């Protein structure tokens, strides 16, 4: 790509001229949607998934399950029923949208494209081991670099036949035999909690169930494992795990039927982060409808983290359920935080920390080097090139606030880098975000949602309609805007 084509793809990050005041409806959780799809595909009866996230990662999951024989019927309401805060592009999750999942005998041959979705590349090989026939997995170039060897070797231990030409990563082929013995397996899941979740999700369908024993350093992102366990129990699976009296670092799932169920997906709380950050850095107020009072989502930690950084929040009852209202104080404070359980929040917290009145230390996130990109290196480089002072440590970042200036903020095809850049742009004029379209991975129509938020609570239904599309095109796009 030439320099001129890169420049023409820049999305000019909107600059806030005052305190942000808005209500923003966030689409459904990617983590819940993709886990629910897997469990529904393995069920003994049809199920429903209501208000699922419609994004690149979830559509890749749905298409992959269809390729192995699962029926997924989508019901999408008319545009008049579109969720608050979302555009009418057809990409947005909608209030009345529902998917009916109809289980069937899993089969190959099948070709599955995982994109760069960790949940797809890790959750589906264990499912494919139950298929009758070969299932081939491939993905984006970055997916070849993301660790998968732990899942591959674990499945071989449990009886699966997998051809990866000894790479320990994509591309690979699972030669399904229609069933899998299962049993006991030891893994080092310190690089990703998805290694544990991937084996647990399919375990009820294995002849002997599964016992997963983690034998490595501290596990990251424990809330995601809690989410997996809760969702397994909700469909009738028997799970023994450490947090309810089980053996430390051991998860056991008993073989048995998986029940079809009717599930309404919670909003993706991690995707609420940039909007809450907008209130914090501008001294404004943002309300997120449907914030759950109990959840396993890591994003719920934003309430305490952003409060420590200078904001205040509360969950209130509304006629439609509950909502979180978050308010900034006009000042942003630095933070010393162990983010090992909520690593996906690091890019957004780093962006806010770069705008704070004191230094920050973010710890416990060495595993982010293996995410969509090396997030620690990317954040260090991009904030520093805007005039910041970020130092990468063995397991995190030290951020010393400095006056920032405009420039190009590169995303490295990482959705959370893009939203972090947008947060910086609220305070720092002249930031152009390269490939804002990568937000479609989990937050469809982000540019329209962002400009709609800035239009304020009294904006009409077309607020944000001139924001440009997710690929950076449209009115106002380009380096000269």
Active site residues: 344
In 3D, which of 369, 368, 379 has the Cα closest to residue 340? Answer: 368
**For residues 464 and 438, what is the distance between their CA atoms, to the nearest angstrom?**
18
For the chain, the maximum distance between any two Cα atoms, rounded to a whole number of angstroms, is 62
Beta-bridge mates of residue 71:
102
**For residues 418 and 274, what is the distance between their CA atoms, to the nearest angstrom?**
10
Alpha carbon distances (Å) from 196 to 43, 310, 346:
20, 35, 22
274 CB-side CA count, 13 A: 28
272 φ, ψ (degrees, to nearest 5): -75, -15
Distance of CA 102 to the CA centre of its chain: 25
Check: CB of residue 104 under 8 Å from CB of residue 132.
no
Beta-bridge mates of residue 74:
99
**For residues 135 and 98, what is the distance between their CA atoms, to the nearest angstrom?**
28
Residue 83 per-residue DSSP state: P
Alpha carbon distances (Å) from 305 to 71, 262, 311, 368, 460:
41, 33, 9, 19, 32
Check: CB of residue 352 under 8 Å from CB of residue 308.
no
Residue 317 per-residue DSSP state: E
Sign of CA dihedral 166, 219, 442, 468: negative
């Amino acid at each position: 790509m030439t320099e001129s084509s890169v420049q023409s793809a820049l999305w000019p990050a909107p600059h806030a001229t005052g305190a942000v005041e808005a209500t923003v409806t966030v689409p459904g959780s990617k983590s819940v949607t993709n886990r629910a799809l897997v469990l529904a595909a393995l069920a003994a009866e049809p199920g429903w998934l209501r208000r699922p996230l419609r994004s690149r990662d979830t559509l890749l999951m749905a298409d992959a399950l269809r390729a192995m024989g699962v029926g997924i019927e989508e019901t999408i309401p008319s545009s008049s029923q579109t969720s608050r805060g979302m555009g009418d592009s057809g990409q947005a999750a909608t209030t009345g949208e529902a998917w009916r999942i109809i289980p069937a005998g899993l089969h190959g041959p099948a070709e599955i494209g995982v994109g760069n979705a960790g949940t797809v590349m890790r959750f589906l090989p264990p499912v494919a081991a139950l298929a009758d026939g070969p299932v081939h997995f491939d993905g984006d170039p970055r997916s070849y670099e993301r660790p998968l060897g732990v899942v591959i070797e674990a499945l071989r231990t449990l009886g699966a036949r997998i051809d990866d030409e000894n790479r320990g990563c994509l591309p690979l082929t699972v030669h399904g035999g229609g069933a899998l013995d299962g049993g006991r397996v030891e893994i080092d899941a310190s690089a990703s909690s998805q290694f544990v979740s991937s084996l647990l999700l399919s375990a009820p369908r294995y002849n002997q169930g599964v016992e997963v024993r983690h034998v490595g350093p501290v596990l990251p992102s424990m809330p995601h494992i809690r989410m997996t366990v809760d969702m397994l129990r909700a469909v009738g699976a028997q799970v023994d795990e450490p947090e309810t009296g089980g053996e430390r670092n051991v998860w056991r799932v008993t073989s048995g039927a998986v029940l079809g169920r009717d599930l309404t997906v919670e909003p993706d709380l991690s995707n609420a982060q940039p909007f809450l950050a907008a209130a914090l850095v501008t001294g404004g107020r943002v309300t997120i409808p449907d914030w759950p009072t109990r959840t396993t989502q890591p994003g719920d930690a934003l309430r305490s983290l952003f409060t420590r950084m200078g904001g205040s929040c509360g969950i209130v009852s509304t006629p439609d359920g509950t909502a979180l209202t978050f308010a900034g104080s006009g000042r942003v404070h630095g933070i010393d935080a162990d983010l090992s359980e909520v690593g996906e929040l690091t890019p957004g917290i780093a962006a806010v920390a770069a705008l704070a009145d004191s230094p920050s230390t973010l710890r416990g996130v060495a595993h982010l080097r293996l995410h969509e990109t090396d997030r620690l290196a990317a954040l260090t480089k991009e904030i520093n090139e805007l005039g910041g002072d970020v130092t990468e440590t063995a397991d995190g970042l030290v951020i010393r606030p400095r006056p920032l200036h405009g420039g190009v903020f590169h995303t490295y095809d990482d959705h959370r880098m893009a939203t972090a850049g947008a947060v910086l742009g609220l305070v720092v004029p002249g930031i152009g975000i390269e490939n804002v379209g990568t937000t479609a991975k989990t937050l469809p129509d982000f540019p329209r949602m962002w400009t709609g938020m800035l239009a304020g609570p009294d904006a009409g239904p077309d607020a944000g309609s001139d924001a440009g599309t997710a690929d950076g095109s449209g009115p106002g796009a380009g380096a000269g805007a």
